[in-house]
Structure 1
């Protein structure tokens, strides 16, 4: 009995020991996961600094629908809360036992509540129930909106967004505002829990791209889209990924490179051709053999709001690269007058906005405030463009010196080369004068 008692006691100690180790292991895993979430997800959405938004509040604050906690209490946006509840009810009522879906969603959202709170750049003064309800309502509203956009037969005939273009325009503008975002992982959790119509075989990212297809530089007729970051923070971040350059050969965010570049028409007079890069990623600007290649950029009603909020995202998050901000600065340098706009339109670099040349001139000037330009990504490109005219002159001089030193004629050959150049340019000059005199008689 004593031996048996000792054996049981020993087994109990071993079981207790194993139990303690399991708890410690779970605690370590939880700690590591918490640190990963904090480093990768915290403060991905924050308020836009006043020096950026002042005077342009309508480009940063929602006018129709509030998403997330920052603008939830604004009286002008409460009218659309009933509409969000109708969308919520429509989504969950497509199958029986909607209460079961609600229960499943709430339990999942409670599990990720703290992770979602850390996503915002300040403490959210909302109770747990209120915060979870907000995530559930806003997330389901966005999912149902994307479904109804993709499948017309799901819409009500009196839907307030799809029967009036102006409402849909305002709604899209609201959903790309930096302050008006919901963590994308919240949307993904809900998307895998709520009843999705059988006719829908799209992923959440694909539905999002269909909704924002006229805001992104390239439409994706084939799914799934490729070359996306493994982690999408929110809807604005998803759009931004379409603008980021795919080539980094000429992009250097630091160093002693130049930031100055002449405007587009002046570059043409210097012998530098400004041409269409035939690339679907606007930020893939490059320079090669005397030609500045600039991918096409759509100009539409969303352009200013989109670029303002992309830049706000880059400025407010110190970990975010400043690619879009750098692009805006570069375009501001290239576009100084209506002549520059006309040149870029002619080269099909700017698509649309032909009747708004003056507005396009001012567009990029208004986009950014006095920011730290240490992360200007086109330093190397500007330096290449700026040294090119001088290198051409040196090339002419080297050619002439080559004639002088290498030909058997020596000085005679050199004099002949100079004479031929003088005669050539004189002929061109007289031809131009003759044309002008004949043209203006």
Structure 2
């Protein structure tokens, strides 16, 4: 009787948990998720954790399928040739397949003073630290949030709703993904909450001190607490392990999410760069990519040809406090439509989206293979063909498939 094959998943976020749960469709595999903490963190809630309206943690017993092993640790190196990972705590762990779902976080700010005086908002630990700092800071103290994307907007609205003096330094356009109509709605709501929104390239933060930020145009707004909510990056584990990555550090894969270097390594979520054309970072995308990475492994184990990824983003949503939000509908090419849902209905849709980001994991744990999503790759195929990447992606997928069939 053949031994169970061991699949290691690096990262216990949306992508990693979804992949691990889906792999339990087979009873001849064992799955280990390696994650640095014992609780699942729904990152969509971190701005609420900062404001004290949500704790942003879920017990892994709720979201992980029975039989999936959680190993609280981190990986310091991947040995592709030896099919093993080295753990930070010491020792190694062998695998038959590896899913790289290391996620994303804030990049180290290169702005003078930012590393010392600006607080990031990208992990459970940094969000808790920021919440503690704010609890010790008077409501009247000026707070500056750097970054006009969803994280910056949502954090600004949450804190302003509590009565804090908030400045949002966008360094460019407020909510660049949003349709201009939706952007105007967001700006109006932030103004109603008392948020000072600074837009344009001249509002780029060029230095941070203990009590001010300096803008590109020379202005120095007061800032007792500066929150860094821009410049997301990915861990350098893949690059340190000698695997091919894109310019940012995401693991390069073909369209089946298989590493271009090794057919036994797949990537999912924010740290994946299929055909050097990564999808937008999001909880929704991470879950779908995690499911697809698992499907690729399951197909190879069954001697079947894995399918290329097909992922279409139906929407994105931005909360504007606890009572209102913008639910922005999207075209198949992941650009904003004119159509969006504002106000309280938007807030309800946003809350449903946050709840379902976890519920999808719970459902997959109970019924592996059940998760589905809107699949359309027409725009992606056109993008790949337009830059000459389709043929290369097909070749990489074919090579990986042949190698996997040989190994099986």
Which structure has the larger Rg?
Answer: 1
What TM-score, normalized by structure 1, do the two folds share?
Answer: 0.23
Higher strand share: 2
Alignment TM-score, normalising by the size of structure 2: 0.24
- Say which structure, 1 or 2, has more relative contact order (CA 8 Å, 6+ apart): 2
| Structure in which a larger fraction of residues adopt helix | 1
